[in-house]
Amino acid sequence: MSSYRTMVVKIGSSLLVNPDGGIANAFIRDLALQASHLRGSGWRLVVVSSGAIACGVPVLHLDARPSDMPTLQACASVGQCVLSAIYDKAFSAAGLLSSLVLLTRHDTARRTSYLHARDALVRLVELGVVPVVNENDTVSVEEIRFGDNDTLAALVACLVSADLCVTLSDIDGLYTTNPAIDPTARFIPVVERIDGAIIAGAGDSSSAVGTGGMITKVRASRILMTAGIPSVICSGAEPRALVRLARSERIGTLFEPAAPRTEIAPRKLWIALGDAAHGSVSVDPGAACAIREHGSSLLPVGIVAVRGEFTTGEILDICDDEGLVIARGRAGAPSDELKLAAGRHQDEIASNRLLVALANRPAVHRDEMIVFT
């Protein structure tokens, strides 16, 4: 067992760029000082940082965030250099060594690359370095993008077996509805289970410089809860938030797992976080109960609908009859076969020459599936 605890902090673009477009140097300096304080109290910090594109926009003298991919990539390339230099200067002044780690889904969708990324991050933390992780927006295109750094932060937290994952945002936590548009919205201090109501109440981003929203934060927290990793969403304006959270102070919204951190097989974490879903299946209540309560495989008879086009081995979301994603797994057959097999019993499948290959295997095997809490 390691002699330190690990905290992953995700920082949104709205905290790194001032309203006038300038970089929030004071915020980054304070972050470095908190990292130094955490080090003295037995914590190691990993930073998942947005902001490369937002930092590149003013440097390239653009009036607003561009919409075309080449210009976005150019902004990321310029902005990442600027942002990395500021992080390096701030952490050096606090007596800490930082490093830059850039990832895309291409680096994690393949299991071998996922494990290499894990080993590199764990070794950096062991060596006392503060890794600053970001999506490699300069080379990312839609097919290999994480799309939001909330998902990336959850991935990193699982990779390094974090003890806590903190999202610093421009809002102070989770509400029953979006407080920016609903004055009756109520603050939620603790979440012990993420259900359909929690997901439905999560609003979209109100930031002009970010790409995520509360819904992506909630989905990321749900995966972390499955891994037994507590997470917090709180305001980046909260004084010394990371230091106070390390002392177990209640700030923002705590997503508290039902069980302590569990050793989920790396393969299942890769299924949950390493690749985007290529499609989805909806299942009937009986199949949903078998998956949730008994850890069963998904058989074609339990499927009521198939969406998207995918091949054998690609990642699928498994949804209940209310549309809530209850699990994710690798498809045991391509989408066209599952559409034909949906709702059919195994003996019926065995007698159909078009589907006979599915007779002796599930649509998604339980060993190739992660069930969300």
Is 10 known to sit in a ligand binding site? yes
Distance set, CA 241 to CA 37, 122, 160, 166 (Å)? 12, 24, 21, 9
End-to-end CA distance of the chain: 26
| Residue 212 in marked binding region | yes
Sheet of strand 369-371: strand arrangement:
303-307, 279-283, 315-319, 325-330, 369-371
Amino acid (1-letter code) at residue 65: R
- The single residue listed with the structure tokens 């499955």 is 226
The reply, when asked if residue 204 is annotated as ligand binding, is no
311 assigned to a ligand binding site = no
Q: Is 317 annotated as a binding residue?
A: no
CA distance 319 to 314: 16
Q: Is 213 annotated as a binding residue?
A: yes
Is 99 labelled as part of a ligand binding site? Answer: no
- Is 136 annotated in a binding site? The answer is no
Answer yes or no: is 367 a known binding residue: no
Residue 283 in contact with residue 291, Cβ under 8 Å?
yes
Nearest to 358 by CA among 329, 370, 340, 369: 340
Sign of CA pseudo-dihedral 251, 252, 258, 264: negative
Residues 6+ apart with CB under 8 A from 206: 170, 178, 180
- Is 69 within any annotated ligand binding site? no
Task: Answer yes or no: is 275 a known binding residue.
Answer: no
Count of positions (residues) in the chain: 373
User: 69-93 vs 52-59: helix axis angle to the nearest 10?
Assistant: 100
Q: Which amino acid is at 241?
A: A
137 known member of a binding site: yes
C-alpha to C-alpha distances, 171 to 110, 133, 134, 198, 284, nearest whole angstrom: 35, 22, 21, 16, 37
Amino acid at 333: A
According to the annotation, is 211 in a ligand binding site?
A: yes
Tell me the binding residues for substrate: 50, 137, 149
Tell me the binding residues for ATP: 10, 169-170, 211-217
Tell me the binding residues: 10, 50, 137, 149, 169-170, 211-217
